[in-house]
Chains A and B, each alone.
Chain A
Amino acid sequence: MKIQVKLYSTLRLNLGVAGLEIEIDKPVTILKLLKLASQQLNSDIIPELIEDGKIMVGTILLINGKNILHAEKLETMINEECEVSVFPPSGGG
């Protein structure tokens, strides 16, 4: 299964990459997918996204446009080809 991971705004800036494709051969949790992404990028993205085992305040993780906070959070399973968007919203006005 091919998973497209897309990064936006400050994450793209900090990590220097707009996205990547990860190939998995069995279902994984979103947490595991992020670890695989770190390996592939040769850069640990987990500290940018997760704090004390929870999604960092100010980070939104979407699987095919669905927020994982409204699913099983970091334990949400990825079991089909999909697009994962990692998006830190801007709060100012």
Chain B
Amino acid sequence: MEIYARHMNLLGEENFAKIHKASVMVAGAGGLGSSVLNLLARLGIGTIYFYEFAEIDPPDLNRQILYNSEDIGNTKCDIAIAGLRKINPNINIIAHCEKINKKTKIPKVDLVFDCLDNFTSRYILDDLIFPKGIPMVHAGVSTYFGQLTVIIPGKTECLRKIISVDATKFDEKINKEIFPPVVTTMASLQVSEGVKYLTGDFSNLLFGKILVIDLLSNSFDTINIK
């Protein structure tokens, strides 16, 4: 428990116990996903499932903090699980080396982190978990910008309704250029909101609104949504 000494008392014993018992799923272990996974492991989230199918390419290394140059060509899944187990061997980490599709069986989890890199896959994930009542912390990033919102069945609409785009056309146009600090900032915010959800801090939780950040002009704006 010593590895949690810097945040266990800060969160409070009761809240720490909640996150330590929690089970979460991380969809994607790329830019957002590798930072989210890193933080979740260090926080001591009890059980972490993650889904990732890709191999590590050189352009990934500017922001995907679980991977190093010696890992190029390996699967993210294998490298991520080995790294996460080194970070924290005391939690359950389950890797699914597969692409999320319409037939994916979603594990029994308290919360999902959307760390995917396209809206086609995001909507598939949304369709799989929203009807089951599983909440999701969504984030998306591009260049200097990012957005985040928490989807809670029964309290908010699903992602498809909140951020409605023609996924196929949108995904063709996604600008892959990315300022690495945007990714780690958004991933940190995702984990922060995830902890709020898991500890029941709904008064501070980002739901019913979208946070839009712009690191170029240092603006953090919140848009209320219906």
Contact = CB atoms under 8 A, between A and B. Distances in A.
Interface stretch (A20-28, A31-39, A40-48, A64-72): A64-72
- Tell me which of A8, A10, A18, A85 has the highest count of chain B C-beta atoms within 10 A of its own C-beta: A8
Given A9-B212, A67-B161, A91 B171 contact: yes
A85 B225 CA distance: 10
- Tell me which of A66, A87, A92, A93 has the highest count of chain B C-beta atoms within 10 A of its own C-beta: A93
Interface in B162-200: 162-166, 169-171, 173-176, 178
Contact of B214 (A6, A12, A69, A70): A12
Q: Is the interface of B mostly helix, strand, loop or mixed?
A: mixed
Interface string B141-178: 11111110000000000000111111001110111101
Q: Is the interface of A mostly helix, strand, loop or mixed?
A: mixed
Interface of A: 6, 8-10, 12-13, 18, 57-58, 60, 62, 64-67, 69-70, 85, 87, 89-93
Interface of B: 28, 30-33, 114-119, 139-147, 161-166, 169-171, 173-176, 178, 209-210, 212, 214, 216-217, 219, 221, 223-226
25 contacts: A8-B221, A9-B145, A12-B219, A13-B216, A13-B217, A57-B165, A60-B165, A64-B226, A65-B224, A66-B226, A67-B164, A85-B223, A87-B210, A90-B140, A90-B143, A91-B118, A91-B140, A91-B142, A91-B171, A92-B31, A92-B118, A92-B142, A92-B175, A93-B32, A93-B140
